[in-house]
Amino acid sequence: MSQFAAEDPRRYLSLIKAAEDHDDLFQALYVDHDDRMDSVAGLRRRRRRASNTPDDNILAASLVEENGVLRWHDGVPAREEAPQRRRRARRAGGPPPLPDQTVVLIKEFPRLQPNRAAAAIGAIDMRLNSAIGVSLQSHLRQLRGGPQKFVIDANDAHGPFDGRTLLLVHGTFSNAVNMVGEFEATTDGQAFLNAALNGPDKYDQVLVFEHATLAVSPVLNALELGRAFSGASGAVHVIAHSRGGLIVRWWLEAFGAALKAETRVVFAGSPLYGTSLAAPDKLQHALSLISNIGTFAERTLTLVGGANPFLWVAGKLVEVVMTVTGTLAHTPLLDGLIALIPGLFGQSQISNNYELNLLRLGPCTTQPAYFVVKSNFATVDPGWQFWKNFRALRGADLAADQIFPGDNDLVVDTGSMTNLGETDFPLKIRDVEDFGNDPEVWHCNYFRQKRTIDFIRRNLP
């Protein structure tokens, strides 16, 4: 029952449309409600603006542009008003007026039914990836085609696999179609996949691993991947993006004993030591950053529709957060909420992430060769300065909505991309393709870079 409003619909039309397109996702999970009696729109008409209360069946959140940065807020913020009216607003206890603001989106939505938050997270996974069914079971599928366009089989591939295998593992909010699409976006990427499938030194099979990224932890994804490769006899080469890198680490280091031949992995922007974006105390700001990334990806990579989930995922996660905690602000309940999203908690860069800490202790069941592609995104384009609001640029200049303490590619801390474990950890990174402080290379376009493709060719011979 979400309702949307925008004061400047031309600038964020795709974001607003994406929110509307996915408005029905939780329809079967909402509490029973009376639209007329519970509507926040009605409350707004009576009170001039809406604020959420613990007894409300209908909640409201707003996406507001402030000085070029999108931020999620509880309720419906007031416009900047005269001083005496601002004082009355504070006394009334409603959301404070926000300076220099444009309300881009107002979401009204019913609460989720009790004990349905996990089901909502699973629903997001299924919407993100059409290959995932209600069981959230992963799928290993064959890639075919070339020289410019490639298709993924609709049916699962079953081992044991003989000969050389190339495996592609996608990251959070993504799917194999999107990952393959990044290779298809450039002639270098097309040539690499075509050679892998049809060249004189082609692989015996090129596979993709479709998996849920929110409702299932990287450990369970890895367990399924290990089962799928049971009995594989030949060399396995892997290209893993983002969270997919953590899955591959768990598979090879904990569940990979059945692999007997050489294993080589190229990680691209992978949170090998987790990411600050998934830390519980950063959640509200992380949701804001995700919405900013959505508009950035649309305009710089021309990612639209299903290829750009950043446009709508944050809004659905807002509904889950506000149902469970009643607010977007950081409260102790957020720690428990993150635990309800295993796919995020498994990559949360916090000291008490015992799951990730155990991975970093070893020992390892295999001895794979690891290679890393990394970047620190730092554009000088004045239209995309939002990234500065989510990073501590100097020790004495900590933004209120800071997520990253230092270098990052907009999604993963750069230092995490090469940090496998303690100093005596048995595996080492063999080689790194470091884009350094780059104004163009960020988390979602690694595979569009010629340097990345050349690096993969050198290290996955």
Encode pLDDT of 135-152 as tens digits: 999 999 999 999 999 999
108 and 127, same domain (yes or no): no
Are the beta carbons of 256 and 226 closer than 8 angstroms? yes
Distance between CA atoms of 375 and 435, rounded to whole angstroms? 5
164 and 188, same domain (yes or no): yes
Which residue type does 99 have? P
DSSP string, 205-225: EEEEEE--SSSS-HHHHHHHH
Q: Is the peptide bond before 96 cis (omega within 30 degrees of 0)?
A: no
How confident is the prediction for the chain on average, in pLDDT? 86
Q: Identify whether 312 is part of a domain.
A: no
Phi and psi torsions of 417, nearest 5°? -70, -15
pLDDT exceeds cutoff 60 at 213: yes
Q: What is the pLDDT of residue 92?
A: 45
Q: Identify whether 86 is part of a domain.
A: yes
Cα Rg of the chain, angstroms: 23
Q: Identify whether 309 is part of a domain.
A: no
On whether the pTM is more than 0.85, the answer is: yes
pLDDT exceeds cutoff 50 at 319: yes
Q: What is the pLDDT of residues 7-55, one digit of tens each?
A: 444 668 888 889 999 999 999 999 987 665 555 455 544 344 456 776 7
134 and 219, same domain (yes or no): yes
CA distances, 2 to each of 26, 27, 306, 316 (Å): 11, 10, 20, 11
Cβ-based neighbours of 43, under 8 Å, separated by 6 or more:
50
pLDDT exceeds cutoff 90 at 459: yes
Q: Identify whether 374 is part of a domain.
A: yes
Q: What is the pLDDT of residue 34?
A: 67
- Model confidence at 171, in pLDDT bands (50, 70, 90)? very high
Higher-confidence residue of 104 and 183: namely: 183
pLDDT exceeds cutoff 80 at 443: yes
250 and 347, same domain (yes or no): yes
Q: What is the pLDDT of residue 97?
A: 46
108 and 133, same domain (yes or no): no
Q: What is the pLDDT of residue 320?
A: 93
Domain closes at, from 94, 112, 130 = 112
Cβ-based neighbours of 281, under 8 Å, separated by 6 or more:
330, 334
Give the CATH number for residue 142: 3.40.50.1820
Distance between CA atoms of 109 and 40, rounded to whole angstroms? 9
Q: Identify whether 360 is part of a domain.
A: yes
- Model confidence at 61, in pLDDT bands (50, 70, 90)? very high
Cβ-based neighbours of 445, under 8 Å, separated by 6 or more:
182, 300, 301
59 and 208, same domain (yes or no): no
Q: Identify whether 245 is part of a domain.
A: yes
Of the candidates 185, 388, 230, 214, the one whose C-alpha atom is nearest the C-alpha of residue 309 is: 214
Q: Identify whether 336 is part of a domain.
A: no
Q: What is the pLDDT of residue 3?
A: 47
Q: What is the pLDDT of residues 335-378, one digit of tens each?
A: 667 778 999 999 999 988 999 999 999 999 999 999 999 999 98
pLDDT exceeds cutoff 90 at 113: yes
Task: Give the burial class of 53: count Cβ atoms within 10 A of its Cβ; 0-12 exposed, 13-18 middle, 19 or more buried.
Answer: exposed
Range of the domain at 184: 118-277+343-459
Q: Which tokens is 111 given?
A: 């609460």
Q: Which long-range contacts (CB under 8 A, 24 or more apart) does 353-362 make?
A: 353/274, 355/217, 355/219, 356/246, 356/273, 356/274, 359/249, 359/250, 359/253, 359/254, 359/421, 360/273, 360/420, 360/421, 360/422, 360/425, 361/421, 361/422, 361/425, 362/253, 362/421, 362/425, 362/426, 362/427
Q: Which tokens is 167 given?
A: 């495996």
79 and 161, same domain (yes or no): no
- Model confidence at 79, in pLDDT bands (50, 70, 90)? low
Q: Which tokens is 309 given?
A: 């989930």
Q: What is the pLDDT of residues 290-300, one digit of tens each?
A: 999 998 888 88
Lowest mean pLDDT among 80-84, 374-378, 451-455: 80-84
Q: Identify whether 409 is part of a domain.
A: yes
Percentage of the chain modeled with pLDDT above 90: 61
Distance between CA atoms of 25 and 18, rounded to whole angstroms? 12
Task: Domain count for the chain, please give it.
Answer: 2
Q: What is the largest CA-CA distance in the chain?
A: 77
Task: Give the count of beta carbons closer than 10 Å to the beta carbon of residue 225.
Answer: 24
Domain closes at, from 112, 129, 146 = 112
Q: What is the pLDDT of residues 380-422, one digit of tens each?
A: 776 666 766 676 653 333 344 488 989 999 999 999 999 999 8
Overall size of the chain counted in residues? 461
- Model confidence at 86, in pLDDT bands (50, 70, 90)? very low
Q: What is the pLDDT of residue 265?
A: 98
Q: What is the pLDDT of residue 2?
A: 47
Where is 240: in which H helix or E strand? strand 236-241
3-state secondary structure of 445: coil
234 and 350, same domain (yes or no): yes
Task: Give the count of beta carbons closer than 10 Å to the beta carbon of residue 85.
Answer: 14
Q: How many CA atoms lie within 13 A of 120 on its CB side?
A: 30
Task: Give the count of beta carbons closer than 10 Å to the beta carbon of residue 145.
Answer: 16
Domain closes at, from 82, 112, 142 = 112
Q: What is the pLDDT of residues 231-279, one digit of tens each?
A: 999 999 999 999 999 999 999 999 999 898 889 999 999 999 999 999 8
Are the beta carbons of 45 and 20 closer than 8 angstroms? no
65 and 178, same domain (yes or no): no
Are the beta carbons of 290 and 19 closer than 8 angstroms? no
138 and 256, same domain (yes or no): yes
207 and 353, same domain (yes or no): yes
Q: Is the peptide bond before 54 cis (omega within 30 degrees of 0)?
A: no
Distance between CA atoms of 171 and 225, rounded to whole angstroms? 14
103 and 188, same domain (yes or no): no
Q: What is the pLDDT of residue 24?
A: 93
